[in-house]
Amino acid sequence: MPMPMPAHARLDVARQLLDLLGDTRTEPRPDDQLEALTLAVAADLPVLLWGEPGIGKTAALNQLAEALDLPLTTVIASVHEPSDFSGLPIVGDDPAQQGVPLAPPDWAVRLVRAGRGLLFLDELSTAPPAVQAALLRLVLERRIGALQLPPGVRIVAAANPRSSAADGWELSPPLANRFVHLQWVHDHEVVVRGLGGVWPVATLPRLDPAALPAAVAFARRAVCELLTVRPELVHRLPTSETKRGGAWPSPRSWDMTLRLIAFATAAGSSREVLSLLVRGTVGDGPGLELMASMDRMDLPDPEQLLADPAGAVLPERGDLRQVVLDGVVAAVRNRPERARWDAAWALLLRALESGAPDVLVVPATTLASLRREDWEVPEAIEHLASTVALSRRADRAAGRVAARTNVTAGR
Amino acid sequence: MSAGATPPDTGWNTRPAPTPLDLGRRIRPKVARPAPTPGDPDWQVKPQAGPPALRPLDLEKLYAARLQAVRARPYLATALFALHLVESRQVPTMGVDRQWRCYASPGFVERTAVEDLASIWVHEVSHLLRDHHGRSDRLARDLGLRDPADRLRMNIAADCEINDDAFGDGLVKPAGALTPRLLGLPEGKLMEDYLRGFSFDLRRPGLAWLDCGGGADGVDRPWELGPDGAHGLTAQERDAVRFRVAEGIRGRPGNAPAGWRRWAEEVFHPPQPWRQLLGAAMRSAVSGPGAGGDYSYGRPARRSAGLPGVVLPSLRRRPPRVSVVVDTSGSVSDRELGSALLEVAAIGRAVGGRHDQVTVLSCDAAAQSVGALCRAAGIPLIGGGGTDLRTGFAAALRTRPQPDVVVVLTDGQTPWPTVAPACRTVVGLFRRPSRYDENNGEYRPDAPPEWARVVTIG
Q: Round to whole Å and give the CA distance between B238 and B244.
A: 10
Contact A364, A380 (CB under 8 A): no
Concatenate the DSSP letters of all residues of A119-143 into one string. Answer: EEEE-GGGS-HHHHHHHHHHHHH-E
Cβ count within 10 A of residue A20: 9
Q: Do B23 and A392 touch (CB under 8 A)?
A: no
Q: Do B20 and A384 touch (CB under 8 A)?
A: yes
State the best of B14, B67, B455 to mutate against chain A, taking most chain A CBs within 10 Å. Answer: B67
Q: Looking at the domain assignment, is residue A6 inside a domain?
A: no
Q: What is the pLDDT along chain B (458 residues), one digit of tens a residue?
A: 333 334 433 333 334 444 444 444 443 333 333 444 444 444 444 444 445 456 788 888 999 999 999 999 989 999 999 999 999 888 888 899 999 999 999 988 998 899 999 999 999 999 999 999 999 988 888 888 888 778 888 888 888 888 888 888 888 888 778 888 877 788 888 888 888 876 666 555 555 456 788 888 888 888 888 888 888 888 888 988 998 898 888 887 777 888 888 888 878 776 667 777 777 777 777 665 544 455 566 666 666 666 666 666 666 656 677 778 877 665 556 666 777 777 777 766 665 555 566 777 776 544 444 444 454 455 544 444 445 677 777 777 777 777 778 888 877 777 777 877 777 888 888 776 554 444 555 555 667 777 777 887 76
Residue A58: is it exposed, middle or buried by C-beta count within 10 angstroms (0-12/13-18/19+)? Answer: middle
Q: Looking at the domain assignment, is residue A1 inside a domain?
A: no
Instruction: Clarify whether residues A283 and A341 are in a common domain.
Output: no
Instruction: Clarify whether residues A131 and A266 are in a common domain.
Output: no
Q: Round to whole Å and give the CA distance between A311 and A333.
A: 22
H helix count then E strand count, chain B: 15, 10
Q: What angle do CA A136, A85, A112 make, to 5 degrees?
A: 105
Q: Looking at the domain assignment, is residue A313 inside a domain?
A: yes
Which residues have a Cβ under 8 Å from the Cβ of B66 and sit 6 or more positions away?
Answer: A356, A358, B80, B81, B118, B121
Q: Looking at the domain assignment, is residue A10 inside a domain?
A: no
Contact A154, A44 (CB under 8 A): yes
Would you say residue A395 has pLDDT above 70? yes
B280 closest CB neighbour out of A162, A322, A404: A162
> Roughly how many angstroms between the first and final C-alpha of chain A, as a whole number?
98
Residue A42 exposure: Cα atoms within 13 Å on the Cβ side = 23
Instruction: Clarify whether residues A138 and A35 are in a common domain.
Output: yes
CA-to-CA dists, residue A334 to A302, A321, A324, A367, A370, angstroms: 12, 20, 15, 12, 10
H helix count then E strand count, chain A: 19, 11
B304 touches chain A (CB under 8 A): no
B104 beta partners: B87, B94
Contact A362, A398 (CB under 8 A): no
Q: Give me the pLDDT at residue B96, please.
A: 92
Which residue is closest to B32 within chain A, CA to CA? A389
State the best of B12, B14, B81 to mutate against chain A, taking most chain A CBs within 10 Å. Answer: B81
Determine the residue type at A385.
A
A359 closest CB neighbour out of B36, B81, B313: B81
The alpha helices in A230-359, defined as continuous H runs, are 241-244, 251-267, 271-282, 284-298, 302-307, 318-334, 338-354
Q: Do A322 and B295 touch (CB under 8 A)?
A: no
DSSP single-letter state for residue B48: P
Q: Round to whole Å and give the CA distance between A236 and A249.
A: 6
Q: Do A91 and B21 touch (CB under 8 A)?
A: no
Q: What is the pLDDT of chain A when averaged over all its residues?
A: 85
Secondary structure of residue A199 in the 3-state scheme: strand
Q: Looking at the domain assignment, is residue A4 inside a domain?
A: no
Which residues have a Cβ under 8 Å from the Cβ of B74 and sit 6 or more positions away?
Answer: B255
Instruction: Clarify whether residues A56 and A178 are in a common domain.
Output: yes
Where a domain ends, among A297, A325, A344? Answer: A297
Determine the residue type at A410.
G
Identify the band that residue A227 occupies on the pLDDT scale cut at 50, 70 and 90: very high
Contact B386, B329 (CB under 8 A): no
Instruction: Clarify whether residues A370 and A353 are in a common domain.
Output: yes
**Contact residues, chain A, for B22 at CB < 8 Å:** 368
Which residue is closest to A240 within chain B, CA to CA? B277
Q: Mean pLDDT across the stretch A376-397?
A: 82
Cβ count within 10 A of residue A198: 15
Q: Give me the pLDDT at residue B367, please.
A: 40
Residue A50: is it exposed, middle or buried by C-beta count within 10 angstroms (0-12/13-18/19+)? Answer: buried
Where a domain ends, among A200, A219, A252? Answer: A200
Closest CA to B329 of B388, B416, B260: B388
The alpha helices in A142-250, defined as continuous H runs, are 173-176, 188-195, 212-229, 241-244
Q: Round to whole Å and give the CA distance between A254 and A181.
A: 14
Instruction: Clarify whether residues A148 and A293 are in a common domain.
Output: no
Q: Give me the pLDDT at residue B45, please.
A: 43
Instruction: Clarify whether residues A325 and A311 are in a common domain.
Output: yes
Q: Round to whole Å and give the CA distance between B224 and B443.
A: 60
Q: Round to whole Å and give the CA distance between A39 and B353.
A: 43
Instruction: Clarify whether residues A192 and A324 are in a common domain.
Output: no
Q: Looking at the domain assignment, is residue A22 inside a domain?
A: no
pLDDT tens by residue, A308-344: 888 888 888 888 999 899 999 999 999 998 889 989 9
Q: Do A381 and B23 touch (CB under 8 A)?
A: yes
Q: Looking at the domain assignment, is residue A380 inside a domain?
A: yes
Cα A324 to its chain centre, rounded Å, is 26
Q: Looking at the domain assignment, is residue A8 inside a domain?
A: no
Domain that holds residue A370: 302-410
**Contact residues, chain A, for B170 at CB < 8 Å:** 398, 401-402
Q: Round to whole Å and give the CA distance between B352 and B132.
A: 42
Residue B156 exposure: Cα atoms within 13 Å on the Cβ side = 24
Instruction: Clarify whether residues A191 and A272 are in a common domain.
Output: no
State the best of A348, A372, A400 to mutate against chain B, taking most chain B CBs within 10 Å. Answer: A400
> Roughly how many angstroms between the first and final C-alpha of chain B, as a whole number?
58
Closest CA to B99 of B246, B240, B229: B229
Q: Do B236 and A291 touch (CB under 8 A)?
A: yes
Q: Give me the pLDDT at residue A279, please.
A: 92
A167 closest CB neighbour out of B4, B65, B350: B350
Contact A125, A160 (CB under 8 A): yes
Q: Round to whole Å and give the CA distance between B63 and B72.
A: 14
B79 touches chain A (CB under 8 A): yes
- Residue count of chain B, please give it: 458
Determine the residue type at A22.
G
Q: Do B82 and A389 touch (CB under 8 A)?
A: no
Q: What are phi and psi of B162, to 5 degrees?
A: -75, -50
Instruction: Clarify whether residues A399 and A286 are in a common domain.
Output: no
Element spanning B150, H or E = helix B148-166
* Antiparallel, parallel or unpaired: β B314-318 and B292-296: antiparallel
SS3 of A96-111: the string is HHHCCCEECCHHHHHH
Which residues 32-61 on chain B approach chain A with CB closer than 8 angstroms? Answer: 33, 36, 40, 42-43, 59-61
Q: Give me the pLDDT at residue B294, please.
A: 55
Q: Round to whole Å and give the CA distance between A131 and B130.
A: 42
Burial letters A383-406, b for 16+ CB under 10 A, else e:
bbbbbbbbbbbbbbbbebbeeeee
B67 closest CB neighbour out of A271, A289, A394: A394
Contact A135, A124 (CB under 8 A): yes
Q: Round to whole Å and give the CA distance between A278 and A270.
A: 12
Contact A42, A180 (CB under 8 A): no
Count up the domains in chain A and report the number: 3
B27 touches chain A (CB under 8 A): yes
Instruction: Clarify whether residues A405 and A345 are in a common domain.
Output: yes
CATH number at residue A38: 3.40.50.300
Handedness of CA A9, A13, A15, A19 (dihedral sign): positive
Q: Do B18 and A371 touch (CB under 8 A)?
A: yes
Instruction: Clarify whether residues A143 and A232 are in a common domain.
Output: no
Where a domain ends, among A297, A317, A350? Answer: A297
